[in-house]
Amino acid sequence: MTGPGGVWVYAERRGTAFRPVSLEILGRARGVADALGERLVALTAVPAEGAVHDLARFGADEVVGLVHPLLDRYDTRVHTDLLEREVRAGAPSVLFLGASRDGQDLAGRLAVRLRTGLTAHVTSVEVDPGHRLVGWVPGFGGGIEAGIVCPDRRPAIVTVRPGVFPLPAAGAARSAVRLVRPTIEAGSFGSRRVAFEPKGDTTDLTRSDVLVVGGRGTDGEFGRLQQLAHRLGGEVGATRVATDAGWIDRDRMIGQTGVVTHPKVAVILGASGAVQFTVGIEKAGFVIAVNRDPDAPIFDAADLGVVGDLAPIVDRLVKVLEGA
């Protein structure tokens, strides 16, 4: 199963749009494909043909659309089987997937199905002088990054978290589109969906320009952070400590195993600044931090650090901003 069969990007469709992470990867993958001297192929599995054409304006050499009405939801077995078939037929060198929940559900299974290497949650990719794709992942503890390669097996599967690469704009040029109509029936599915409840809060912290983040020092009182975020037109995020303590949804967790964000402004309240957290916020344009402990490491990661109790400061700040 050796290449050069191309650099493939699996684009995950969700309702009426592609997941931003899929497009982010597609944007970056153009450069990777060029550096490797291979074709860039975007691959998707959708219920109707129209969606496939949406993918054709993001710079791929070819867009392959697997189209079948039963592909209106993700199923591990259906999608693993479909992708396995396409990969064995096309023999790509690299396969990128977005590290959404379904994306990771699929990538982990597919990698074993194909007996190949999986480099997960890269924060950057490059092609080294030896023409190898290197995926950089944060070393545990932060401060260093490890470059992972998959020397022998193909395709090298790589997953990328949302917000790592910039979201490209759709271009004028269109990729060639190839439609495939696989045979899928009820028996192809490994699961039966009993219910789906859409979430009211579909906040995407990676898209926020302003983040107000709370840590241990909030003592669970996120109300004032909500007020401040609302005043500033931003969103509320949290450190691992706060989500582990059950003070706020896991979805709001920022950091190495949460989301990596790049807001214009981040206000960090009551977080010590452990590196597992700061890796999720260090791309922020401007960082304001408030902490009672003058020696908290967060001050090394901040532009403006305020030593003090966050509660009275935030309460006062909200009032000041309301008066503004």
Helix axes 76-90 and 101-113, enclosed angle (nearest 10): 50
* 319 belongs to the binding site for other proteins (CB under 8 A): yes
* 240 belongs to the binding site for other proteins (CB under 8 A): yes
* CB-based contact 180:67 (threshold 8 Å): yes
* 72 belongs to the binding site for other proteins (CB under 8 A): no
Shortest Å distance, C-beta 108 to other proteins = 3
Please state, in angstroms and rounded to a whole number, the distance separating the CA atoms of residues 201 and 132.
Answer: 41
Residue with tokens 């190949």: 116
Shortest Å distance, C-beta 130 to other proteins = 9
Shortest Å distance, C-beta 61 to other proteins = 26
Please state, in angstroms and rounded to a whole number, the distance separating the CA atoms of residues 149 and 154.
Answer: 11
- Residue 94: count other Cβ atoms within 10 Å of its Cβ: 28
* 91 belongs to the binding site for other proteins (CB under 8 A): no
Is 174 or 189 the residue whose CB approaches other proteins more closely?
A: 189
Please state, in angstroms and rounded to a whole number, the distance separating the CA atoms of residues 201 and 125.
Answer: 32
* CB-based contact 166:147 (threshold 8 Å): no
Is 171 or 308 the residue whose CB approaches other proteins more closely?
A: 308
Is 147 or 168 the residue whose CB approaches other proteins more closely?
A: 147
Q: Considering only residues 50, 166, 171, 312, which one is a binding residue for other proteins as defined by CB under 8 A?
A: 312
Q: Considering only residues 17, 48, 89, 146, which one is a binding residue for other proteins as defined by CB under 8 A?
A: 146
Please state, in angstroms and rounded to a whole number, the distance separating the CA atoms of residues 252 and 212.
Answer: 11
Shortest Å distance, C-beta 80 to other proteins = 8
Shortest Å distance, C-beta 21 to other proteins = 10
Q: Which of 67, 27, 76, 77 is nearest to 43 (CA)?
A: 67
* 96 belongs to the binding site for other proteins (CB under 8 A): no
Shortest Å distance, C-beta 5 to other proteins = 17
* 286 belongs to the binding site for other proteins (CB under 8 A): yes
Is 42 or 310 the residue whose CB approaches other proteins more closely?
A: 310
**Contacts with other proteins in 8-67 (CB under 8 A)?**
14-15
Shortest Å distance, C-beta 181 to other proteins = 26
Taking CB under 8 A as the binding criterion, the range among 38-46, 59-67, 100-108, 168-176 that sits at the site for other proteins is 100-108
* CB-based contact 303:287 (threshold 8 Å): yes
Q: How far is CA 266 from CA 25, 59, 175, 269, 286, in A?
A: 25, 33, 38, 10, 6
Binding mask 243-282 for other proteins (x = CB under 8 A): xxxxxxxxxx---xx------xx-x------x-x--x--x
Is 53 or 147 the residue whose CB approaches other proteins more closely?
A: 147
Q: Which amino acid is at 242?
A: A
* 166 belongs to the binding site for other proteins (CB under 8 A): no
Q: Considering only residues 37, 69, 183, 192, which one is a binding residue for other proteins as defined by CB under 8 A?
A: 192
Residue with tokens 């209106």: 72
Shortest Å distance, C-beta 102 to other proteins = 7
Is 172 or 194 the residue whose CB approaches other proteins more closely?
A: 194
Please state, in angstroms and rounded to a whole number, the distance separating the CA atoms of residues 137 and 119.
Answer: 8
* CB-based contact 115:39 (threshold 8 Å): no
DSSP 117: -
Query: What are the helix (H) ranges across 49-94?
Result: 49-54, 76-90
Q: Considering only residues 202, 208, 260, 271, which one is a binding residue for other proteins as defined by CB under 8 A?
A: 202
Q: Which of 282, 259, 252, 249 is nearest to 206 (CA)?
A: 259
